[in-house]
Structure formats: C-alpha cells, structure tokens
Structure 1
Amino acid sequence: MSTVVPLAPGISSPTVPHPSPTPVAGGTGRRPRLRALDGLRLVAALMVVAFHWTGVNRMPEVWDGAPRQLMPELHRFTAYGFLGVELFFLISGFVICMSCWGKTPRQYFNSRVVRLLPAYWVAIILTTLVVNYAATARNRPHLSKTDVLSNFTMLQLPLGVTEVDPVYWTLWVELRFYLLFAVVVALGVTYRRVLAFCGIWMILSVVADKADSALLKMFVMPEYAPYFIAGIAMFLIYRFGTNWLLLGVVGFSWLVAQHQLLGTKGSYEYGVMHSLSWNVMAGFSLLAFGVVLAVAMGAFDRIQWKWLTVAGALTYPVYLLHQEIGFALIRWARNHGMGVGATLLAVLACVLLLSWIVHRYAERPLSALMKRMLDAPGIFPLRADPPVRDRAADRERNSNDMAGSSR
C-alpha cells in the first residue's frame, strides 16, 4: 500500500512506486461506482446531438431552412454543442486509465476491441442503409461498397476513405489515444509512469505545431491532448488522492486547452456559419474540467441512480447513430407536417429507442462473443510461437479416422 502524506486540508500527496490495490484519500474502502460519470457521458452525447440537429446551418436541406432562422433561441445554445466532444475526451482519459490499471497488454487490447467494434459495425450497416436507400436521407454522395467495407476497419480517415457517418472522425482521435497509452500498458501502469507519460505527451503536443512534422502532429494531437491528459490526471486523483502536482497537471492542461480552442473555434464557425464566442467556449471548458474533477474528488459519490448506468451504456450507440439517421427522420417528420418541437422530441425518442435496441440485442451479445474469441488460448502467443502444424500427421490421422468409420 502507498503512504499518503498530507500537504494541506483536503490535499495529500501519494508516494507510490507501484499501484496499490485501491488507495483513496480519506478512506480505505472501495469507492462506489462512478454513475455521475455515466451521466456526464450522456450529457456530452446529447450536446453533440443537439449541435448536429439544431446548431449546424450548413445543411439547410435537413430542416428545409437554417436552424438559426427556424429556432433562433435554441440555436444560440446548441451552436456550442460541439463542446460535448471535449467533455467526451476528458472522460475518456479518466476511464481508459481506470479500466486498464493492472491489465496486461492483451487484456487492454481485448477490452478496447470488445468495447468499440460491435456497436460500430452495426451502426455502419444501419447508417449505410439509410444513406443509400432512405428517401429522406440528406443529399450526399452514394456510399460505394469499398467505402463501406473500408469503414469497418475504423481507419477510414488515414485511408482517405469517405466516412459512412461524419461523426466517426472522433473514433480516429480515440484510436490514437489508445495507441499512445498502449506504451504505458506495455511497460506496466504505475503512478510514476502515467505521470511521466502525461508530461512527455504534453510537451510534444505543445511543440508539435512548431516542429513542422505532420507525423508528430498526427500522433500527439495538439488540439485534443490536453483533455485526455487532464482526464488521466483526474483519475490519478480519484485513485490516489489529491495533491498539488496532479492539480497542477489539470490546471496546466486547461491553460493549454483554452488556447487550442482558438483553432477549434474557426473550424466550427464554418459549420454554424456565424461567429462563436471564445468566452463561452473557454467558460464551458472550465466548467467541464471542474465537474469531472469534482467527480474524481468524490463530490458526486452519493449519486447512485441505477438508470445512469443504462444511460452511460446508450451513449456510444446514440453517438454512432444520431446524425445521418437523425437527419433522415427529421426530414420525414417535417414532410409530414410536424412542428420543430414535436420533430425534435419524436426523433430523439426514436434514436434513443434504436440505440437501446442496438445495445441490448446487438452490442451486448456480439461483445460477449468477441470476448470469448479473443480470450481463447493461442490467440496471442506472446512468449513463443505456436507449434508448427504437421500436415503429414494430420493426413495420416484423417485417413485412420476414415478407415475406422468405414468399418
């Protein structure tokens, strides 16, 4: 077990050469499930849904008019819904560090594959059917067979392939984060190694713009690194207790993040087709950092509503399914004379129901099947090559079996 050295009221410093079972500041027992984090994931997903449905003005064919004109009061808020992505990345840094602590590289790989691919593959099939064949799908090029098949790799962006749904771009960001963190997992996840990883990644992300290296920039992701790094530091606070160093990592990450918002601001102004306020963006970013930090420090431990776990489970399917399918449903509802408010409520209900069906009847059974396949012995022969197959012996054995059966 680690020793916790008090620094100030409520602030303590873990001296941890290796991970302890469950050290937590202020107590020795296990902390309850972080259901508040599940709720925040759904909030982030709904923010992105609101942004795509009512914040983007560049696709007026969806509503037969720009949302800014059709729903001006709502649009004032949902134009900033893209900030839900930053909240996603904060939570991802927290959750990935939490879920891989004490895991082997194989367990880490298996958990990521089982978590990401089943719902994603189902979403590709459903979204392709809507994009290519639904009468109310928005105007976009027909998806070719090779486009769809390439999307199953989740590497469509580096392959230069059209995405089945544009929202999949964040998956490429997540994959790069998983690849970077795999280095820590391979070395063995400890307090010091994770902190060193955060420091090295932060330095590389800050200097990447000046390094004139597209490859470095692609891997260290300067725009999003501060969120993942802060989330990781917040998990260390959750696991080991609060100290000034970890709070400094979180604070420094926000200082870098608020600067990177200047670049993010321009890219999203293209979609909303009007100026956005950096003050609002930086203010929400600060709020998101504060709320996730409060979760890490135990402020929401008493929130144990079981429905939040279900909400957290639906987050990924909702994110994957909401844009193109949602656009088609919005156009269908508008073609049948439904008002703006009724359309939004009805389409949201449909997407939530579809997400639950995908989670319950596709994602869960496929994940269980994939986990059994990946956990099978011999799949990852890490220490030695598997035995070479003796084909002559196989033929002789088959011949003997056939001779025996003929008798």
Structure 2
Amino acid sequence: MTATEQRPATTAPDRAKGDYLHGLDLLRVFASCAVVLTHLFAWFAIHGQGFKPAVWVDETVVAALHVNRGVAFLGVATFLVVSGVVVTHVAARESPTEFLRRRVVRLLPLLWVATVMAWVLINMGFRVSGANDPALGVGDLLRGLVLGNFFQRPQIGLVGVTWTLLVQIGFYAYVAATIPVLRRKPWIPPLAAAVLVLVVVLVAGQLNWVWLYRVGVLIGYLPLLCIGQLVSLVHSRRVSPVVGTAIAAVHFLIVVWLDKLSWYFQGDAVPRTVLLVVLATVLVVSMSGPFLRSGFVRGWAKRTYAIYLVHLMAMYPVFDLLMPHLNRTLVVVLGVVWVAVLSELLHRFVEMPADRAVRRWERRRRERRTADRAG
C-alpha cells in the first residue's frame, strides 16, 4: 500500500466560508488508524508471529464486514474517497492555477523530506517496508523524489505508500483541467473520467508496455476519487441525487469489473470495501457537532498526511530493534508513540511552514494586483 491524501485528504476548505466539512475529519482520523493498524499487523504476519489484537480484529471487524484481513485497503480507500470530496469542494472557488499550486505545496515538501528519511534509513540497514531493501544510490533517491521509482525495474518502494499519491496527482491534474466544465456542467467531468478509465485500462491490457500497464493499474483507483467527487457535487446540490448516484454506480461497476480482472493488489474485498467507505462518507459528510468541531479531531485530521507518509519508517525500525528484547505490547506502544511524535514534528516544521509560505505569496500577489488596479 498506502494511502492518501492522504492525504491521502489534502487541503481543507477555508473555514471562513462557514462550509467546512467537519464530518470528513472523522473519516480522516479513522483512515489514519486503519492504515497504521494494517501495517502494524502486517509486521507480525511477515515474521510469522501471532498478535492478539490482530486476531481480534480479524474475528470481529473482518468477519462482520467481510473485508480483507487486517482491514487492509480500508484506510487507503477512505483516504481516496475523502480526497475526492475535499478536492472537488475546494475546486469550486479556486482557479486552475491556484488549485494546482496549493495541491503541490501540500504534497511535495513533506513527500521530499519523508523520501530522504526513508533513503537514509534504508542505506543504514533499516527496514521501512515489508521487504529488506538493498542499498540505494543517489539516482534512486532522485527518482523517489518525483515518484519515478514506481516505474523503474526493479521497482523501488522507498516510501511505499506513496503509490497512492500518483493516483491523487492524476486526479488533481484532471480536476484542474476540467474546472471550467465542472462549474457549468458538473456532471460531465466524473462521467468523462469513467470513459477515460475504461479506455486506458483496455489499451494497457492490449499493449505490452510496462509503463502503460502501471499507469493503467494506478488509474484503476481513479473511480474511488470520482465517487468522492460525486458525493461532494450531490452534497452541494450542484448535481441531483439521481444523476450523481447513476454516475457513481458506473464507477463502482468499473471497480467490480477491474476486481474480476484481478487488476487490484489490495486483496479480494476491494468492491465491498469501496461500497462500505462510500456509504460511510455519505453518512458523515453533513455531520457536525462539538466533538467533530473539537481541536482534538481537527488537529488529528490535519496530521493524517504526515502519519500516512512516516508510519512505516517510524514503526518498523523500532519493532525490528526492540521486539526481540522487550515485551511486544510495550514495543508496539513505543512504535505508535514514535509515529505520533515524528508526524507532529513534520507537520509543525515542514507542512505548516510550506502552507504559510504559499499563502503569504498569494496574499502579496493579490495586494500587488489591487494596488496596480487602484493606480
């Protein structure tokens, strides 16, 4: 995996507008917990060790919902659908250039720092994924900084969860290109996206081009973001519930079709997981209240992108170093605490400064334009 937006979910709508979707913060918190738990449980599975919480989750949550073992893909699916909702929500009031600039600033600085951290840890002999990665060169680092590592042979993971960023970046580019249409005929872009997915997948399946096949695999996740887009459009009453549901059903059928083709690598419960996530999103998107508005939920939601990027490189080295010597429950607690600490540091000293810098630049630009017009 991942997972995300991921944030997974990226930019929050301007709270001054009074239309902040507080319910989505709860989904972000849930998604970050699901992603961390999935990879926490995976560490024990890789080492052939039992872990009672993992067994309990499989016997209760997994058995009841019929999703993948260790709730795999549940967090990633949530991040992707929520990202579709949020991105569409903010695109309604941003120009294409402003939209892309803000998405890039939210994604890249933290991605670059996390990639360098992963590269250093791997070359120090630490494991930051499910595999023991070989020593990496500067070229591997440079490719990782632009996510080109997913298209090389052999494929190098570095920050393995960042494959979902490729999906999201593709969606951001599509939204930016279709913003004028999205404002006049909002049902057209999500419907056209379904056609695009079908064409790319069919062509990728016929041509023996590795890069095109990998693009096709990634674009197979685009329907999740498009369904989130439709949730946003229906919620804002820009598309009728009937039209929105019909187009969303087309995207869901594409997911089912691709699952039948074994297109996904996220287990055998992808359609069911997507359906559950979409239903949950529809249920909570309009929710509010003191708890959802609390600083705790809002603060956690803001840090989910950092959590998503660093949780593997935070947990796995701690587990590998300490698990043979200390109580496993204590080591798990230490690993999760280190995830929280590292995420907080990166959010405060990388994410927030980058966001403030671009907004200062935008404010100065608006002031100069206003002064030019006044002069």
The TM tier, using the shorter chain, reads 0.7 to 0.9
Q: Does 1:122 align with 2:113?
A: yes
One of 348, 353, 356 as aligned partner of 1:368? 356
Structure 1 residues 177 and 155: CA distance shift in structure 2, 3 A: farther
Alpha-carbon contact 1:54-1:67 (below 8 Å) kept: no
More helix by share: 2
One of 78, 82, 107 as aligned partner of 1:87? 78
Residue 342 of structure 1: CA displacement?
2.8
Amino acid at match of 2:89: M
- 1:384 aligns with none
258-267 or 49-58: bigger deviation? 258-267
Q: Does 1:109 align with 2:100?
A: yes
- Please list the CA deviations of residues 376-400 of structure 1 after superposition, one character each: whole Å capped at 9, or x if unmatched: 76xxxxxxxxxxxxxxxxxxxxxxx
- 1:6 aligns with none
CA distance in 2 between counterparts of 1:71 and 1:36 reads: 28
TM-score with structure 1 setting the length? 0.71
One of 329, 335, 344 as aligned partner of 1:347? 335
Amino acid at match of 1:156: N
CA distance in 2 between counterparts of 1:140 and 1:309 reads: 36
CA distance in 1 between counterparts of 2:223 and 2:127 reads: 39
Residue 349 of structure 1: CA displacement?
1.6
- Please list the CA deviations of residues 139-171 of structure 1 after superposition, one character each: whole Å capped at 9, or x if unmatched: 321121221122222333246662322111111
Alpha-carbon contact 2:82-2:228 (below 8 Å) kept: yes
- 1:23 aligns with none
Q: Does 1:235 align with 2:232?
A: yes
Residue 288 of structure 1: CA displacement?
0.9
- 2:256 aligns with 258
One of 147, 163, 180 as aligned partner of 2:140? 147
- 2:66 aligns with none
Residue 39 of structure 1: CA displacement?
1.9
SS of 1:98's equivalent?
helix
Alpha-carbon contact 2:307-2:340 (below 8 Å) kept: yes
Identity among equivalent pairs (%): 21
Q: Does 1:34 align with 2:43?
A: no
- Please list the CA deviations of residues 346-385 of structure 1 after superposition, one character each: whole Å capped at 9, or x if unmatched: 21121012101110122211332355467776xxxxxxxx
Q: Does 1:357 align with 2:345?
A: yes
Number of aligned positions between the proteins: 331
In structure 1, list runs of 5 or more residues that go unmatched: 1-29, 270-275, 378-407
Residue 202 of structure 1: CA displacement?
0.7
Q: Does 1:324 align with 2:308?
A: no
- Cα RMSD between the aligned structures? 3.1
CA distance in 2 between counterparts of 1:225 and 1:206 reads: 11
Alpha-carbon contact 2:182-2:189 (below 8 Å) kept: no
CA distance in 1 between counterparts of 2:98 and 2:53 reads: 49
One of 165, 174, 181 as aligned partner of 1:171? 165
- Please list the CA deviations of residues 153-191 of structure 1 after superposition, one character each: whole Å capped at 9, or x if unmatched: 233324666232211111111111112222113x35415
Residue 246 of structure 1: CA displacement?
1.3
Larger radius of gyration: 1
- 1:387 aligns with none
SS of 1:301's equivalent?
coil
CA distance in 2 between counterparts of 1:150 and 1:141 reads: 16
In structure 2, list runs of 5 or more residues that go unmatched: 1-16, 63-68, 366-375
CA distance in 2 between counterparts of 1:130 and 1:114 reads: 25
CA distance in 1 between counterparts of 2:56 and 2:310 reads: 26
Structure 1 residues 70 and 35: CA distance shift in structure 2, 3 A: closer
Q: Does 1:98 align with 2:92?
A: no
Alpha-carbon contact 2:119-2:158 (below 8 Å) kept: yes
Residue 343 of structure 1: CA displacement?
2.6
Amino acid at match of 2:223: P
Amino acid at match of 2:231: M
Amino acid at match of 1:34: L
Q: Does 1:310 align with 2:299?
A: yes
Give the alignment of 1:237-316 within 5 angstroms. Answer: 237-240=234-237, 242-263=240-261, 267-269=265-267, 276=268, 278=269, 281-296=270-285, 298=286, 300-302=287-289, 303-316=292-305
Alpha-carbon contact 2:106-2:354 (below 8 Å) kept: no
CA distance in 1 between counterparts of 2:194 and 2:160 reads: 28
Amino acid at match of 1:103: E
CA distance in 1 between counterparts of 2:275 and 2:266 reads: 19
